[in-house]
Amino acid sequence: GNSVTQMEGPVTLSEEAFLTINCTYTATGYPSLFWYVQYPGEGLQLLLKATKADDKGSNKGFEATYRKETTSFHLEKGSVQVSDSAVYFCALKSSGDKLTFGTGTRLAVRP
Amino acid sequence: DVKVTQSSRYLVKRTGEKVFLECVQDMDHENMFWYRQDPGLGLRLIYFSYDVKMKEKGDIPEGYSVSREKKERFSLILESASTNQTSMYLCASSLNLGWEQYFGPGTRLTVL
């Protein structure tokens, strides 16, 4: 079946540091890949997505590239802000299937 | 602006009580979902519905039921609440299965 593995948190960074949150997946077929973000006290919201190999999703300074050869979709940001403190979820959808979420990675950014 | 609302942000119930969690979306979406979110386990799908009066089991349906009488409303029912159902419950909706899901703010349920 489908599965998503994320690096365990929490990840603690200073403001303006570089961020990487690793995500790898197992799926049949050619899945679409997503990153969702959950700010404190809120529900999840879509951050970015990629629907085919080598696609790069980007939003709010975050980027992730769909790497089929390594089955990965790592989230990166060049310079994090305190306001980026949240929980980040990697997710996938393969044809005819529902979304499968990873366990989430908490990011804490210090001023 | 898209909106998914949940009836309560916090709820405290006693073991054995019947619990209703309500979710309403205003986007005319076909699909609605109920998840529970637990530390270290991420989001797990309880039930989803792809049309009025239609429902399908997700990964962890035991101890739960759902109701969808109107397109905009999807209810999660705990027939007899137990302490292991203490969790954050998230409702979501989407236009098509597997596409962007819009989430509500969540209901944190505590069962004593």
Residue closest to A30 by CA, chosen among A90, A94, A74: A94
> Is B48 part of the contact surface with chain A (CB cutoff 8 Å)?
yes
**Consecutive 10-residue averages of pLDDT for chain A (111 residues):** 89 97 92 94 92 94 96 97 96 79 95 94
Nearest by CB to A104, from B42, B97, B99: name it: B42
Over residues B39-78, the pLDDT tens digits come to 888 899 999 999 998 999 998 999 999 999 999 999 999 9
**The pLDDT of residue B98:** 64
Higher confidence at residue A91 or residue B97? A91
| Per-residue model confidence (pLDDT) at position B1 | 67
Given an 8 Å threshold on Cβ–Cβ distance, is B98 in contact with A98? Answer: yes
pLDDT at position A75: 98
Residue-wise pLDDT tens digits, B76-95: 999 999 999 999 999 999 98
The predicted pLDDT at position A93 comes to 87
pLDDT tens string B10-19 = 999 999 999 9
CA distance to partner chain B, nearest, from residue A56 (Å): 17
Judged by DSSP in three states, A53 sits in coil
